[in-house]
Amino acid sequence: MEPYILIGSLFVLIAIGVPVAYTLGLVSVIGALLIDLPLDAVMIQIASGVNKFSLLAIPFFVLAGAIMAEGGIAHRLVNFAAVFVGFIRGGMSLVNILASTFFGAISGSSVADTASIGTVLIPEMEKKGYPREFATAVTCSGSVQAILIPPSHNSVIYSLAAGGTVSIASLFLAGVMPGILLGLTMMGMCLFFAKKRNYPKGEVIPLSQAIRIVREATWGLLTVVIILGGILSGIFTATESASIACAWAFFVTMFIYRDYKWSQLPILMHRTVKTVTIVMILIGFAASFGYILTLMQIPMKITAFFSALSDNRYIILMCINIMLLMLGTLMDMAPLILILTPMLLPVIKTLGIDPVHFGMIMMINLGVGLITPPVGSVLFVGSAVANLSIEKVTKAMLPFYFGLLTVLMLITYIPEISLWLPRIAGLL
């Protein structure tokens, strides 16, 4: 009876509008009272949940992404992408996807990706003859790459939710191929629509101008080299790479690009601290919630449920995908990762699925939720940037959902897409 009361309390509190972070804290207290656990034990778990050195990577990645997002990098990345694909029919839509790929490798955030790239490209695409709904749909769907391509904040959260048993470096590398596959799929769809609807071609950028554009964008793209190169070479840990990338982003923005005013830095820092504070509260309460789940043996019961459902791993994976897609439309990504990872890891380990592979399955599932109503945060941002209703953007998104779900099936049932690079690097 206690597990049903615990999970029921979770859904009731979320349904009545209690913030997810506080919901997890309240449910942890309810669970402790149900099993006669001293509340001191809950507080100890909350404190130990945030008392981890690896957690420092999150504020550094968030700050580095925020600095680069507001420091002129988005505009330069758009120009950089235009050098390679802007001259093709439908080239502006390809530029949008490619710019999202580059920007995602710096910001690690789909919301920041949509806001930054969308602000630059949605008006520009409309000016060139693309429907605003289509431009917004391309921007939103392309931004899902940011949660796969390193440095993804959500990969760090997944590693923490897994109890540190999955390395951040392996998750970063595992996201490269799925992110590229997603980008290529979206670009293929854009080419199809461009030919079918006769979208305009762009102009070939002169060589001298192209060299200047590439040179300017390279400063920002070096952030990715610092993060991945530092981690994979063993010179830095993920946290150290994040801090050095933050310092580099500050240097490039304030001393090379110089598009950002010093007077705006305190405002940016305030927003970053506010974001990080919310995430840390969520992580602390999620740690206590996971502890209560373990004491109640809920992960074991969920494993038994799926085992009784079928002995076919492919069917169970499909059921998990459906569950994640449904929940992703109702809750934000970070809370779901923290809540579901401790529950589902025993299931996938029983099936013999690599936790790194499952991390990518979870990311793409919940990434689709970010662009799906009624609670898709990326969809809301895209609609606000384009000044369009959610209904119009969702209608334009329908073909792209098909592409995203196709990529989800490939990532789910072809593990090597995710595991090939980590295996080559000796991380698996």
Strand (E) or helix (H) holding 412 = helix 390-413
Which pLDDT score is estimated for 361?
Answer: 95
Which pLDDT score is estimated for 248?
Answer: 85
First-last CA distance in the chain: 40
Are the C-beta atoms of 328 and 336 separated by less than 8 Å? yes
Which pLDDT score is estimated for 24?
Answer: 85
| The two structure tokens encoding residue 105 | 């490798």
- Using DSSP, state whether 67 is helix, strand or coil: helix
Neighbours of 274 (CB within 10 A): 10
Which pLDDT score is estimated for 294?
Answer: 80
Phi, psi of 201 (to 5 degrees): -90, 155
Those residues whose C-beta lies under 8 Å from the C-beta of residue 152, and which sit 6 or more positions away, are: 108, 146, 171, 172, 175, 363
Largest CA distance in the chain: 73
- Using DSSP, state whether 157 is helix, strand or coil: helix
List helix spans (H) across 296-376: 298-309, 313-328, 333-350, 355-370
Neighbours of 72 (CB within 10 A): 18
Q: Within 13 A of 45's CA, how many CA atoms are on the CB side?
A: 25
Phi, psi of 89 (to 5 degrees): -60, 130
The position carrying tokens 């384009």 is 386
Distance CA(380)–CA(246), nearest Å, equals 28
Provide the residue-wise pLDDT of the chain in tens; the chain has 428 residues. Answer: 777 888 888 888 878 888 878 888 898 898 888 888 888 888 888 888 788 777 777 788 778 777 777 777 777 888 888 888 878 888 888 888 988 888 887 777 788 788 878 888 888 888 888 899 999 999 999 989 988 988 888 888 899 888 878 888 899 899 999 999 999 999 999 999 988 888 888 778 888 888 888 888 888 788 778 777 777 777 777 778 888 888 888 888 888 888 778 888 888 888 888 878 887 888 888 888 888 888 888 777 777 787 777 778 889 999 899 989 988 887 778 888 988 898 888 889 888 899 999 999 999 999 998 888 877 888 888 888 888 888 888 899 999 999 999 999 999 999 999 999 999 888 87
Which pLDDT score is estimated for 317?
Answer: 92
Neighbours of 221 (CB within 10 A): 16
Distance CA(178)–CA(225), nearest Å, equals 19
Domain containing 357: what range?
2-424
Structural domain count of the chain = 1
Which pLDDT score is estimated for 412?
Answer: 95
Closest to 227 (Cα-Cα) out of 175, 273, 266, 185: 175
Closest to 220 (Cα-Cα) out of 325, 76, 347, 340: 76
**DSSP state letter for 360:** H
